[in-house]
């Protein structure tokens, strides 16, 4: 490096792995390289990337003090940042126009719920693409994302469904049917969900409940993790409540009597 007047910025991801395997000695040597080169340019700079600072607590005091002198804490990825990350992967891995904006938005929304987990977002994209491929769809629909989530872990438990009241079940059935009939949609507005619910009530010959009661049902379903809701102001007057299924594909639901 001296001969070529070169500099190295050594960036070590998952730095805790090095600490666990090698202990203080390897880290100490990396942080003290310049001490053997007094009066010469600092050719090597070190960046250690860790999930938690707890990993460096086992190092000796001098090494720990060096590492703690300059710390940058990074916030979790926001939904907007996750959209950018997924878009970048889409450009690399998919043919143009095969992954709609609504699909990308749903992936980012779900990954945001998982603590801004970019790896989870990329995994959802990959799995959703596999489902679209297997079904020869040509386009990665939001329904493919819902199937991808279901394949990773089941978020809807039968025990949770058993605790729902009759009209909560009818409301949920209406939401499920909406997405089953609109597999290209990632979100349903509360108005669309209410209309679907009203149709279900008519089929079961029961009187539908009011908007206020449905809002309470939505709150409960969201708390249980059966459905999720977000708020959008895009292209709307005021705030619009949007509903989406976080971990279940409506194509797998059977419409039995509640």
Rounded to whole angstroms, the Cα distance separating 150 from 144 reads: 10
Give the predicted TM-score (pTM) of the model.
0.63
CA distance 137 to 105: 19
Angle at which helices 24-31 and 15-22 cross, to 10°: 120
> What's the CA gap between 54 and 56, in Å, rounded?
5
The gap from C-alpha 238 to its chain's centroid, in whole angstroms, comes to: 26
Whole-number average pLDDT of the chain = 86
Numbers of helices and strands, H then E, in the chain: 11, 5
- Domain positions in the chain are 8-67, 79-152, 158-252
Q: For the segment 146-175, what is each residue's pLDDT rounded down to a tens digit?
A: 888 887 765 566 777 888 999 999 999 999
User: 79-152 has which CATH code?
Assistant: 1.10.8.60
What CATH class has 158-252?
mainly alpha
């Amino acid at each position: 490096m001296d001969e070529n007047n070169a500099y190295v910025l050594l960036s070590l991801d998952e730095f805790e792995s090095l600490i666990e395997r090698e202990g203080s000695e390897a880290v100490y040597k990396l942080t003290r390289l310049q001490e053997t080169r007094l009066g010469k340019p600092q050719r090597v700079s070190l960046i250690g990337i860790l999930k938690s600072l707890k990993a460096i607590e086992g190092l000796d005091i001098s090494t720990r003090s060096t590492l703690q002198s300059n710390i940058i804490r990074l916030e979790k990825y926001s939904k907007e940042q996750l959209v950018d990350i997924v878009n970048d992967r889409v450009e690399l891995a998919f043919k143009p126009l095969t992954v709609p904006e609504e699909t990308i938005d749903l992936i980012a929304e779900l990954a945001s719920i998982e603590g801004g987990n970019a790896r989870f977002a990329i995994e959802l994209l990959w799995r959703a693409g596999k489902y679209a491929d297997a079904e020869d769809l040509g386009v990665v629909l939001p329904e493919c994302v819902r199937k991808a989530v279901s394949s990773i872990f089941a978020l809807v438990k039968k025990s949770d469904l058993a605790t729902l009241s009759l009209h909560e079940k009818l409301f949920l059935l209406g939401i499920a049917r909406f997405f089953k009939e609109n597999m290209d949609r990632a979100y349903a507005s509360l108005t669309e969900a209410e209309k679907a619910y009203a149709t279900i009530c008519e089929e079961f010959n029961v009187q539908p409940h009011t908007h206020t009661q449905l809002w309470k049902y939505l709150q409960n379903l969201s708390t249980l993790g059966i459905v999720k809701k977000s708020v959008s102001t895009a292209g709307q007057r005021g705030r619009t409540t949007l509903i989406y299924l976080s971990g279940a594909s409506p194509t797998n639901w059977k419409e039995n009597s509640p």
